[in-house]
Structure 1
Amino acid sequence: MINYDPHRWMDHFFDIRGSLVKEILGRVLLCTTWSAGVVYFHVYIHPIAIPSIVHTLVGLALGLLLVFRTNASYDRFWEGRKLWGGIVNETRNLIRSSEAFLINAPEIRHEIASWMLAFVYGSMNALRDKKSFGPIENRLPPEKLKAAMEAPHPALFAAKQISLLLQKAKSEGHITDYVQATIDQNVQLLVDYIGGCERIHKTPLPFAYVVHLRRALVIYCFTLPFALVGSFEWPWATILDTLFLAYIFFGIEEIGVEIEDPFGEDENDLPLETICASIEKNTMGLLS
């Protein structure tokens, strides 16, 4: 994610990084080149202008479709951020409770902290279709680390280890049944939150909607020069108008694509590395 000051918008007027210009450049240039060919044909070979009323009406409908697209994508983005906010809170509750109730079992406390961090980093990488516990792999027992990496869901394996450690603490008399159930509730919530993230990650917007929108967008932008070329005293102005409208429409659609799955490594995705590092820092602070 790119950090910026929302009050200084002129500082970002010419920014390329994160603005999706590179992603839509090919489409926009192709559309603009096509419009130049249309204008050339209209001026030097034969007039091919068509009435603009259809494009006016279709443009309104297309705008509504694009608004729905971006709103749906932003809802997914914000829900993802709320879910990771819940993960941050539950890790704090888990390590806080462990430190308070397992004060006489430092080894178990440290193991719980290690597996909790393994869950966090494992969840981040699972949402990126990877199997890794990141920078805390060296803190895990080698045999358990091997088993975790071979598990279908490494983060869930880490959550199970925390529950097993709580059971061990109860059997050794460090905590009561009630305390065990209370602390394990934090583990359950962590699993619920990562399940919510996986729901977003594995469920894209309906295929039919995306395909229809893109078809409509391409047809509209590539037929737009025919509707504009007869509207100007200087027909070559059509090229600039087509460039502008293609940039706006293709850009809005690409924004929806960029934030639809906010757990990746794109410039506009959630800063999961920063969030995980913050959880690790908080955990180490409580342990010390």
Structure 2
Amino acid sequence: MIVTPSPRLKRIVLDVWKPLLALGIWDVLVTVTYFVFPFTAPSLPLTLFGTALALFLGFRDNSAYQRWWEGRILWGSMINASRNVARGAGAFLAEEDGQEVLDLRRSITLRQIAYVHALRCQLRRQDPSAEVRRFLSDDEAAEPLGRRNPANGLLDGTAGRIEHAMRKGWIDTIQQTQLERILVDIANAQGGMERLKNTPLPNQYRFFPTFFTRLFCVLLPIGLVETLGIATPIGSTIAGLMFLAVLQIGEDLVDPFADTIHDVPMTAMCRTIEIDLLEALGDPAPEPLQPTDGVLW
């Protein structure tokens, strides 16, 4: 996620130079053709076309932003639920019950840290093995990493450990229910994230805006050249670029979990969870993740 208050010129140029170059070349060709073979093109249809296209693109961008914001809300819920897991384990599994109970509390907390990192990697289509093994032994990591959904495997393992604590008499059924309710909230958040990741915008939302925006950019200099004359390449390129920029905004936001500079900063949020839970155990914790070149990952 870009966190700088104003966009940097280098990043803007890298994003727009290809369509800017294509638009500029086409606009120059239309302008030269007009002065060699003068023609007349009505401007009203192009005005109506542009108005309708602007409304269409605005509606699409709103839909894309809603997906991005929902992803951020779900990760905010994940941060709170992770803290609640550590708090509940620390409160219900007391030190006076012995070393085995302390080991179980530690295992539950470390598994939650491994879980959020695994979920982050899954959503970004990355291998979670290295992140999981940072917090779990090879024996503990083998079972969840052998699943198609390692994050869900880690969550199942945590539920099994809570049930084991109840059968041992270390927690009662009410405490088990409270911890299980937190795990249900975590599972619901994961399900929402997977829904966003695996369900793209309908094809009509992707194809038609792209097609009509490019068509509008092709027609734009034809409708403007009679009015702008030799300045057509400048005016038409700038106007067309605005429409292409609005189109690109939707493309950037439609997948909130893509591994790009525009996605939800999952790495930073996982680091926040890691810090809070390690400190709950009394372990040394890393520093919060800082933006790199204006981007928080």
- Per the normalisation by structure 1, the TM-score is 0.92
> Deviation per CA, 1:122-163, whole angstroms, max 9, x where unpaired?
111111122305545133121231222220100000000100
> Closer, same or farther in 2 for the Cα pair 1:16/1:255, shift >3 Å?
farther
> Which residue number in structure 2 is paired with residue 141 of structure 1?
137
Quick check: 1:40 aligned with 2:36?
no
* Structure 1 contact 263–269 (Cα < 8 Å) conserved: yes
| 1:248 corresponds to which of 237, 242, 267 | 242
SS of residue paired to 1:139: coil
> Deviation per CA, 1:44-84, whole angstroms, max 9, x where unpaired?
x2113311111100110000011011111111111100000
> Which residue number in structure 2 is paired with residue 71 of structure 1?
62
Identity across the alignment (%): 28
Alignment of 1:24-35 (within 5 A): 24-35=16-27
Amino acid across the alignment from 2:199: T
Alignment of 1:1-288 (within 5 A): 1-5=1-5, 12=6, 14-17=8-11, 19=12, 21-43=13-35, 45-103=36-94, 104=97, 105-232=101-228, 235-288=229-282
* Structure 1 contact 99–109 (Cα < 8 Å) conserved: yes
* Structure 1 contact 49–228 (Cα < 8 Å) conserved: no
Amino acid across the alignment from 1:2: I
CA distance in 1, matches of 2:55, 2:76: 31
Amino acid across the alignment from 2:278: M
Amino acid across the alignment from 2:215: I
The runs of 5 or more residues in structure 1 that have no matched partner are 6-11
> Closer, same or farther in 2 for the Cα pair 1:206/1:109, shift >3 Å?
same
* Structure 2 contact 64–254 (Cα < 8 Å) conserved: yes
> Closer, same or farther in 2 for the Cα pair 1:48/1:149, shift >3 Å?
farther
> Deviation per CA, 1:84-121, whole angstroms, max 9, x where unpaired?
00000001111101000011311000110111111101
- Per the normalisation by structure 2, the TM-score is 0.89
CA distance in 2, matches of 1:14, 1:138: 35
